[in-house]
Structure 1
Amino acid sequence: MNDSSLRLERSGDLATLTIDRPQARNAINFPMLESLEQALDDLSGNLPRLLVIRAAEPGFCAGIDLKESREARSDFVRVRVGLMHRCLNRLRSLPCPVVAAINGVAVGLGCEIAISADLRIASPDARFCYPEPRVAVPSPSQHLIWLIGLARAQDMLLTARWIEAPEAERIGLATHIAEDLDRGVAELTDQIMDLAPLSMRRTKENLWITMTEGIEAASRHHQDGVTEAADTADRKEALQAFAEKRRPHFTGE
């Protein structure tokens, strides 16, 4: 990755992606999108058990870089928005669980990055907004509708209003609020890292198949997954640990 404003770091089976451009309130420009795509290549080629997305202060992400947009021609805009959607789709489809740690504001593209995570922990001062109508472009809606439903997405997108942390948690925009964000992320990380990686990947796949292909396809996928799991080392370890009344140690095999 060539852009220091977006860092991918690893500690064992845990990967952390940090947005670090505080001078622009962590707004995303084109080089950062290119770095994000490169990071996704790295993650796909060497999959961690868990990816955590977080941001440096003062807030999670102020959206797309409007200073870059001021000088952008339509051909550049098409390339940039295409890259943006490609990155978001790849982020959502990563086989491993993805957690977003949302501090402060998440605006526009910042919201899209946050809701591309499977689980979203927000600080009490977190705020969410899709302000695109205020800058004369349409808001993305396709994933938000799945997450919070049509009526709530309409309310959020067609008013461009701010959603404060308590409401975000109530409508599902945030999974939960943590008074101490770092501690909340650490506790959730420990919880997820104790689970069987192959099972988590299959479960995540099944969730998306249910949403995109329907219940029958998801049922077939689940049957295949349970059958394949029977011969894995992790399944045998889980049953042995149960018999011995101890915690299992999963290796992802």
Structure 2
Amino acid sequence: MTIDERLDANSVEVSKDGTTTTLTLSRPAKLNSLDSGIVEELLSALEVCRGDGTRLVVFRGAGKGFSGGFDFTGLEEQTEGDLALRFLRVEALLQAVHYAPFVTMALVHGPCFGAAADLVASCTHRIAAPGARFRMPGLRFGVVLGTRRLAEVIGRDNARDVLSKSKILEANEALRIGFLTGIAEQDNWPQLVTEATEAASILSASRLERVLQLTNDDRRDSDLAELARSVMEPGLKTRISDYIASMKKK
């Protein structure tokens, strides 16, 4: 079954070139924010990639930026259970990327906030255009999403600094602390994808998967448990509403 047969891709554009699959977040009017639909489409696409010979998955964003993160549109109509489930499905997506049997690459331009920044942190290669900027504010409203993965990528002290201050990372700072693996103008991205595709094809698929497994500590259960505890704490919806209101005042 092909990707096209599995997906009604309203929010994710899927293209495959040899062993490289590109997944483009395509909700530009909403800054490619992660609603439940786009998360499920990405999960479905990644599942297809596991069986179609893909060696490299590339994530991109359409429009003026990579993604604004978790989509809070219609917050008033959602129950706390709805919100909790959506966060759990985002974590399922992050784990599908982080523990994928193929190499992953994020190509980021413009803003990349919240859960979208966690998506980038889950990737093998993390490349940004010079003007990209990142922010992970989840702990401002008490949601523990991707914290350990971030600490693995940038180190404990840097993670504590970034998360406790909910600070915006400009591309140069993100590269300095290891959140990014490179900075490149968008015109140079095709060459980087070509190089990554070639590198991902050196080993057999089974050996590549083994290398990726052995270089990742498997913390899926504990990460999911920490997230579940944070979203099950009463008042999730109120905490999010208060956070959104505080951001509007700035």
Maintained 8 Å contact 1:47/1:96: no
1:166 is aligned to 2:190:
no
Which residue in the other structure is 1:48 paired with? 54
1:80 is aligned to 2:111:
no
Maintained 8 Å contact 1:27/1:63: yes
| Corresponding letter in the other structure for 1:125 | G
Q: Residues 2 and 162 of structure 1: is their aligned pair in 2 closer, same or farther, counting only changes over 3 Å?
A: same
For residues 50-107 of structure 1, the C-alpha deviation after alignment (integer angstroms, 9 at most, x for no partner) is: 1111011211110000114342212212221221111111111222211110001110
Higher relative contact order (CA 8 A, sep 6+): 2
Which residue in the other structure is 2:41 paired with? 35
Which residue in the other structure is 2:214 paired with? 209
For residues 119-155 of structure 1, the C-alpha deviation after alignment (integer angstroms, 9 at most, x for no partner) is: 0110111101012244x23242021011011111111
Within 5 Å, which residues of 2 pair with 1:109-188? 109-134=115-140, 136-140=141-145, 141-178=147-184, 180-183=185-188, 185-188=189-192
Q: Alignment partner of 2:64: what SS?
A: coil
| Corresponding letter in the other structure for 2:192 | L
TM-score (normalizing by structure 1): 0.77
Q: Alignment partner of 1:195: what SS?
A: helix
Q: Alignment partner of 1:199: what SS?
A: coil
Q: Residues 104 and 205 of structure 1: is their aligned pair in 2 closer, same or farther, counting only changes over 3 Å?
A: farther
Give the counterpart of 1:190 among 188, 191, 194.
194
Maintained 8 Å contact 1:121/1:181: no
Q: Alignment partner of 1:101: what SS?
A: strand
- What is the aligned length? 210
How far apart, in 1, do the equivalents of 2:20 and 2:81 lie? 38
Maintained 8 Å contact 1:14/1:48: yes
RMSD of aligned residue pairs (Cα, Å) = 1.9
Q: Residues 58 and 200 of structure 1: is their aligned pair in 2 closer, same or farther, counting only changes over 3 Å?
A: farther
Maintained 8 Å contact 2:121/2:150: yes
TM-score (normalizing by structure 2): 0.78
Which residue in the other structure is 1:20 paired with? 26
Q: % of aligned pairs identical?
A: 29
Maintained 8 Å contact 2:60/2:107: yes
